[in-house]
Amino acid sequence: MSLTEEIARRRTFAIISHPDAGKTTLTEKLLLFGGAIHIAGAVKSNKIKKTATSDWMEIEKQRGISVATSVMGFNYGDYKINILDTPGHQDFAEDTYRTLTAVDSVIIVVDVAKGVEQQTRKLMEVCRMRNTPVIIFVNKLDREGRDPFEILDELESELKIKVRPLSWPINIGAKFKGVYNIYEHSLDLFTPNKQKVSERVEISSLDDPRIDESVGETDAAKLREDLELIEGVYPEFDEHAYLAGEVAPVFFGSALNTFGVKELLDCFVRIAPSPRPVTTEERMVNPDEEGFSGFVFKIHANMDPNHRSCIAFVKICSGKFERNAGYKHVRSGKVMKFAAPTAFMAQKKSIVDEAYPGDIVGIPDTGNFKIGDTLTSGELLHFKGLPSFSPEMFKYIENTDPMKSKQLEKGIQQLMDEGVAQLFVNQFNGRKLIGTVGQLQFEVIQYRLLHEYGAQCRWEPISLYKACWIESDDAEALAAFKKRKHQFMAVDREGRDVFLADSGYVLTMAQQDFPKIRFHFSSEF
pLDDT in tens, 493-504: 888 899 999 888
Residues 6+ apart with CB under 8 A from 83: 13, 14, 15, 27, 30, 31, 71, 72, 73, 74
C-alpha triplet 27, 32, 33: angle, nearest 5°: 100
Residue 298 bridge partners (DSSP): 313
C-alpha triplet 131, 65, 105: angle, nearest 5°: 15
Q: What is the pLDDT of residue 195?
A: 52
Q: Is the predicted pLDDT of residue 249 greater than 60, yes or no?
A: yes
Q: What is the pLDDT of residue 378?
A: 83
Judgement on whether residues 240 and 141 belong to the same structural domain of the protein? yes
Q: Which of 238, 271, 304 is the last residue of a domain?
A: 271
* Cα–Cα distance for residue pair 136/108, rounded to 1 Å: 5
Look over the chain and give the mean of its residue pLDDT values, rounded to a whole number: 80
Judgement on whether residues 239 and 324 belong to the same structural domain of the protein? no
- In degrees rounded to 5, what are phi and psi of residue 493? -70, -20
Q: How long is the chain?
A: 525
C-alpha triplet 413, 417, 423: angle, nearest 5°: 60
Residues 6+ apart with CB under 8 A from 262: 33, 197
Average pLDDT over residues 279-292: 87
Q: What is the pLDDT of residue 304?
A: 54
Q: Is the predicted pLDDT of residue 397 greater than 60, yes or no?
A: yes
- In degrees rounded to 5, what are phi and psi of residue 245? 80, 20
pLDDT in tens, 15-25: 887 777 777 78
214-228: b or e for each residue (b if 16 or more CB lie within 10 Å)?
Answer: bbeeebbeebeebee
Judgement on whether residues 331 and 370 belong to the same structural domain of the protein? yes
Judgement on whether residues 140 and 44 belong to the same structural domain of the protein? yes
Residues 6+ apart with CB under 8 A from 39: 48, 50, 195
Residue 170 bridge partners (DSSP): 178
The one-letter amino acid at 256: L
- In degrees rounded to 5, what are phi and psi of residue 204? -85, -35
**Cβ atoms of residues 450 and 456 within 8 Å:** yes
Q: Which of 253, 271, 289 is the last residue of a domain?
A: 271
Q: Residue 107: which of 84, 140, 78, 80 has the closest Cα?
A: 84
Average pLDDT over residues 203-221: 76
Residue 53 placed within a domain: yes
pLDDT in tens, 28-76: 888 777 665 444 343 333 333 344 544 545 555 554 444 445 677 778 8
Q: Is the predicted pLDDT of residue 344 greater than 70, yes or no?
A: no
- Specify the higher pLDDT residue, 160 or 99: 160
* Cα–Cα distance for residue pair 519/118, rounded to 1 Å: 28
Q: Which of 245, 271, 297 is the last residue of a domain?
A: 271
> In Å, how far from its chain's centre is CA 419?
14
Q: Is the predicted pLDDT of residue 417 greater than 60, yes or no?
A: yes
Judgement on whether residues 288 and 340 belong to the same structural domain of the protein? yes
- In degrees rounded to 5, what are phi and psi of residue 340? -135, 60
Judgement on whether residues 366 and 260 belong to the same structural domain of the protein? no
Judgement on whether residues 264 and 292 belong to the same structural domain of the protein? no
Residue 366 placed within a domain: yes
Judgement on whether residues 296 and 325 belong to the same structural domain of the protein? yes
* Cα–Cα distance for residue pair 313/362, rounded to 1 Å: 5
Domain with residue 423: its CATH number is: 3.30.70.3280
Residue 61 placed within a domain: yes
Judgement on whether residues 363 and 413 belong to the same structural domain of the protein? no
Percent above pLDDT 70 for the chain: 82
**Which domain does 511 fall in, by range?**
393-520
Q: What is the pLDDT of residue 416?
A: 79
Residue 499 placed within a domain: yes
Q: Is the predicted pLDDT of residue 194 greater than 70, yes or no?
A: no
Provide the sign of the torsion angle of the four alpha carbons 62, 300, 437, 122, taken in this order: negative
- Specify the higher pLDDT residue, 48 or 286: 286
Residue 63 placed within a domain: yes
Q: What is the pLDDT of residue 92?
A: 47
Percent above pLDDT 90 for the chain: 13
Q: What is the pLDDT of residue 45?
A: 34
Q: What is the pLDDT of residue 46?
A: 33
Task: Give the confidence band of 478 by pLDDT, cuts at 50, 70, 90.
Answer: very high
Domain with residue 244: its CATH number is: 3.40.50.300
Residue 468 placed within a domain: yes
Q: What is the pLDDT of residue 182?
A: 80
Q: What is the pLDDT of residue 68?
A: 46
Judgement on whether residues 145 and 52 belong to the same structural domain of the protein? yes
Stretch among 162-176, 210-224, 264-278 having the lowest mean pLDDT: 210-224
Judgement on whether residues 260 and 352 belong to the same structural domain of the protein? no
Q: What is the pLDDT of residue 347?
A: 47
* Cα–Cα distance for residue pair 66/86, rounded to 1 Å: 7
**Number of separate domains in the chain:** 3
Residue 514 placed within a domain: yes
Give the Å distances, CA to CA, from 224 to 166, 185, 212, 217, 263: 15, 12, 11, 11, 20
Q: What is the pLDDT of residue 186?
A: 76
Judgement on whether residues 369 and 492 belong to the same structural domain of the protein? no
Residue 384 placed within a domain: no
